Structure 1
Amino acid sequence: MASDSGTQADSIKLQPINRRAVFTFSGTHFLNDLVTTGIVPALIVLYKHALHLNYTQSTLIVLISYLTSSVSQPFFGVITDRRPRVWLFSAGVFLSITGLALTGIAPSFNWLLVFIALSGLGSGAFHPEASRGTHLASGQKKGTAQAIFQVGGNAGQAFGPLMIPLFLVHTGLHGLIWFLVLAFLSIPLTVQLLRWMGDRVKETALKKKEIPGENHILGVVLLCGVIILRSWCQIGVVVFLPFYLKHLSIGASETLNFIFVGAGAIGTFLGGIWSDRLGMKKLLIVSLFLATPFAFLFPHLHGFLSVLDLLFFGFCVLSSFSVGVVYMQLLLPRNVAVASGLAIGFGVGAGGIGSVLMGSISDAFGVSTVFTILSFLPFIAAIFAVFLPSDRVRLAARVKHK
């Protein structure tokens, strides 16, 4: 019996990367993050003017979006680790898009927050199962698969701000209702994977007791610190760049946001591939240290140099995004969905909290003070990363077990 179990586990471990599944997960991640972490921060300018909000109220929208979408992810992870619910992958992305679409017809600020919360909960339900599915489809290419999955989300974040100058500037907030078309298009895209996901979950359940190593709680805490600081930096730039560059049109400032997050999407993809070769801890430390000088320089640059700086800043600070997810799964080998919820959700949710804090600072001291604070965050995150447990040691333990 033990031999049969071992043979079955080996056949699961040796499966190659399922590229069709991975790219489908990436595509749905694009749609989900386009309407949550992508377009919501960019819409703050329009929400603020339409409903006559102050900075604190405006950033409260981001907080509600990120709290419901991100802090809920670990809780969905706990539930689905105990009993996988693959249908949340499909239902989650549908609800996230639908909630955002309804904000276009929100009659008041309170209703706006309700619809934002619905969208956030959909995103919170989507991520753990989608990340688990990517993990199951990755074979031996964990970093590469997560990079493909995360670059879909980062691309959604990048294209979110572009929806303002390309579409919503012409239609106004009411144009958001057209996103319902995307919500219904997501159904056939996601449903096709549900049977495969269910079968793979059953297969991996057979070898769950054989997973080597215990959860590394101190490492999880340190990695959460890295993710939170990086998220504060990223979200701070996206939310406050249009206010910082108020001499530019909304379209121009959101185009700069696209450059920042778009470069981050490229960094996410390459960072995942490089981490398979260089190691996750090393890539985390190096990328965050490299982001530090660009963060310090940005408030002091103008014109083309500021655009170039944003390009390198976004590339460096977000090149460890997918690495953080795989690293967290390595530190929590017995709770993959919880690990995904923490790495993707908790960090982004903390970014929402940070945006409200930065909004209060902006009301009191001005937006330029926020960018001064943001410039220190990648350096502090890099220091945290230095003390992370070695990913090479934990991977070696797994290989020895196999």
Structure 2
Amino acid sequence: MNTTTTVTTDAAASDAAQRTQYHVLAAISSTHFLNDMMQSLILALYPVLKGTYQLSFAQLGLLTLTYQLAASILQPLVGQFTDRRPQQHALVFGMGFTLSGLLLLSQAHTFPLLLLAAALVGCGSSIFHPEASRIARLASGGQHGLAQSLFQVGGNAGSACGPLLAALIVIPFGQPSLAWFSVAALIAMLVLRWISQWYAAQHRQGAGKTASKVQPFSAGKTVWIMGVLLALLTTKFVYMASFQSYYTFYLIERFALAPQQAQLLLFVFLFAVALGTLAGGPIGDRIGRKAVIWFSILGAAPFAMALPHTGLAGTVALSFVIGLIMSSAFSAMLVYAQELLPGKVGTVAGLFFGFAFGIAGLGAALIGRLADHYGIVAVYQTLAYLPLLGIVAALLPTKQLAKI
């Protein structure tokens, strides 16, 4: 009797592990929404900080760099550590860092304190992203691209809401209003506590163990492919950083828009990013990830080159198309790399998220310095050619990686 019950329970657990756990994906995506919404408030606050504290573009770039480096340096280490020693409460702990940084940001009145607040939020991100990506893969039921897209779209939607919330709340009520968003962090911590309990149960049942850890290519070929993927990430995230950190300033200078109007138009771009992210993973599951990666960067080049030479309506339309196309790549690249290095889900997620944050931060800092010297409009005209580097996707092997 007891043996039969045990066998039945184990079989049910095994069947559940093979099915896509949409309720878990919805929960982890919702926390990604809240996490990235709170983090995007740093960038959305830039017009307020620039005017209040007389910050230069270079100082704004340094703020972005501090946040991005705090997020990037720790992420691969967190992913590697939790691959070896899973930590049930890591997600809740990471969200606590974000909460602390947000509260400090609402009260900081000196540039060093602003940097510290940005670093705390970055630390929260460094813990959240590799662990949450692991949860998404574990709940995917084999549909890895779909799961990563659902997870990513939560974050992109949260980032898109940042400018809206800045226009409706932060700009009218000022920097202290950021403290109101601590409620979002507390809600996220409650949801993450439930997710942590689900993850612990899956770990006890062995659902997170990888069936095979055989790499599809030799070590040398694997390093080469990873290098190509990181080069593509560099192209994508440096160009995207120009929008996330400076697009509002470009619109204000070029078209004489008010800050609130510029924030609303930034939302258009970020909304397109969310849509593209949602589409990229499932399409990669169907037609192959290389095709998605190839199109998502190189395909945006004609629109990027046209953007600095159009009027306001054309700029808004082109920004939407660029966001839609370029955002479809990340889920495909992440899953591609995870299949390249089976058994290292957290390490790969930490590396890719960390590298993306770091290169975006460095790019934002460099763009800020160039904008101080040459003007933001001139910088956009130069960056328009960056997506052409997406041609290096041709170096990726055409062999379909195994669905491990």
Relative to 1, partners in 2 of residues 1:32 and 1:207: Cα closer, same or farther, differing over 3 Å? closer
Relative to 1, partners in 2 of residues 1:172 and 1:222: Cα closer, same or farther, differing over 3 Å? same
Give the drift of 1:195.
Answer: 1.9
Give the drift of 1:207.
Answer: 4.3
Mapped to 1, the partners of 2:312 and 2:291 lie a distance apart of 33
Relative to 1, partners in 2 of residues 1:177 and 1:207: Cα closer, same or farther, differing over 3 Å? closer
Other-structure match for 1:354: 363
1:318 aligns with 2:327: yes
Does 241-250 or 11-20 show the bigger shift?
11-20
Q: What percentage of residue pairs aligned between the two structures are identical? A: 34
1:194-273 to structure 2, matched below 5 A, reads 194-204=196-206, 207-208=209-210, 210-213=212-215, 216-246=222-252, 247-273=256-282
Cα displacement string for residues 24-46 of structure 1 (whole angstroms, at most 9, x for unaligned residues): 1100111111122x222222221
1:114-133 to structure 2, matched below 5 A, reads 114-133=116-135
1:66-105 to structure 2, matched below 5 A, reads 66-105=68-107
Q: Would you say the 8 A contact 1:17–1:138 is kept in 2?
A: yes
1:368 aligns with 2:370: no
The amino acid of 2:352's aligned partner reads A
TM-score by length of 2: 0.91
Q: Would you say the 8 A contact 1:76–1:128 is kept in 2?
A: yes
Structure 2 counterpart of 1:327, from 323, 326, 336: 336
1:22 aligns with 2:28: no
The amino acid of 1:143's aligned partner reads G
Give the drift of 1:384.
Answer: 2.1
Other-structure match for 2:346: 337
Structure 1 counterpart of 2:284, from 259, 269, 275: 275
- RMSD over aligned CA atoms reads 2.1
Relative to 1, partners in 2 of residues 1:62 and 1:208: Cα closer, same or farther, differing over 3 Å? same
Instruction: For structure 1, list consecutive stretches of 5 or more residues without a partner in the other structure.
Output: none
Q: Would you say the 8 A contact 1:102–1:176 is kept in 2?
A: no
Other-structure match for 1:47: 49
Give the drift of 1:305.
Answer: 1.8
The amino acid of 1:192's aligned partner reads W
Give the drift of 1:203.
Answer: 4.1
Relative to 1, partners in 2 of residues 1:185 and 1:207: Cα closer, same or farther, differing over 3 Å? closer
Cα displacement string for residues 321-360 of structure 1 (whole angstroms, at most 9, x for unaligned residues): 2212211211221311011112222112210110000111
Does 194-203 or 49-58 show the bigger shift?
194-203
Q: Would you say the 8 A contact 1:86–1:129 is kept in 2?
A: no
Relative to 1, partners in 2 of residues 1:229 and 1:206: Cα closer, same or farther, differing over 3 Å? closer
Mapped to 1, the partners of 2:154 and 2:176 lie a distance apart of 26
Relative to 1, partners in 2 of residues 1:373 and 1:88: Cα closer, same or farther, differing over 3 Å? farther
The amino acid of 1:145's aligned partner reads A
TM-score by length of 1: 0.91
Give the drift of 1:236.
Answer: 0.9
Other-structure match for 1:146: 148
Q: Would you say the 8 A contact 1:39–1:160 is kept in 2?
A: yes
Structure 2 counterpart of 1:384, from 392, 395, 400: 392
1:161-180 to structure 2, matched below 5 A, reads 161-180=163-182
Does 241-250 or 91-100 show the bigger shift?
91-100
1:35 aligns with 2:41: no
Cα displacement string for residues 248-295 of structure 1 (whole angstroms, at most 9, x for unaligned residues): 111111111111111011011011111111110111101222211111
SS of 1:228 mapped into structure 2: helix
The amino acid of 2:402's aligned partner reads L
The amino acid of 1:78's aligned partner reads Q
Give the drift of 1:152.
Answer: 0.3
The amino acid of 1:249's aligned partner reads A
The amino acid of 2:295's aligned partner reads V
Q: Would you say the 8 A contact 1:30–1:155 is kept in 2?
A: yes
Relative to 1, partners in 2 of residues 1:119 and 1:138: Cα closer, same or farther, differing over 3 Å? same
Give the drift of 1:211.
Answer: 2.4
The amino acid of 1:324's aligned partner reads M
Relative to 1, partners in 2 of residues 1:289 and 1:18: Cα closer, same or farther, differing over 3 Å? same
Q: Would you say the 8 A contact 2:138–2:207 is kept in 1?
A: no
1:304 aligns with 2:313: yes
Mapped to 2, the partners of 1:133 and 1:219 lie a distance apart of 25
Cα displacement string for residues 129-158 of structure 1 (whole angstroms, at most 9, x for unaligned residues): 110000100012111111000000111111
SS of 1:210 mapped into structure 2: coil
Give the drift of 1:101.
Answer: 2.9
The amino acid of 1:22's aligned partner reads L
Q: Would you say the 8 A contact 2:35–2:185 is kept in 1?
A: no
Mapped to 2, the partners of 1:373 and 1:82 lie a distance apart of 44
Relative to 1, partners in 2 of residues 1:326 and 1:204: Cα closer, same or farther, differing over 3 Å? farther
Mapped to 2, the partners of 1:141 and 1:187 lie a distance apart of 27
Q: Would you say the 8 A contact 1:13–1:140 is kept in 2?
A: no
Other-structure match for 2:195: 193
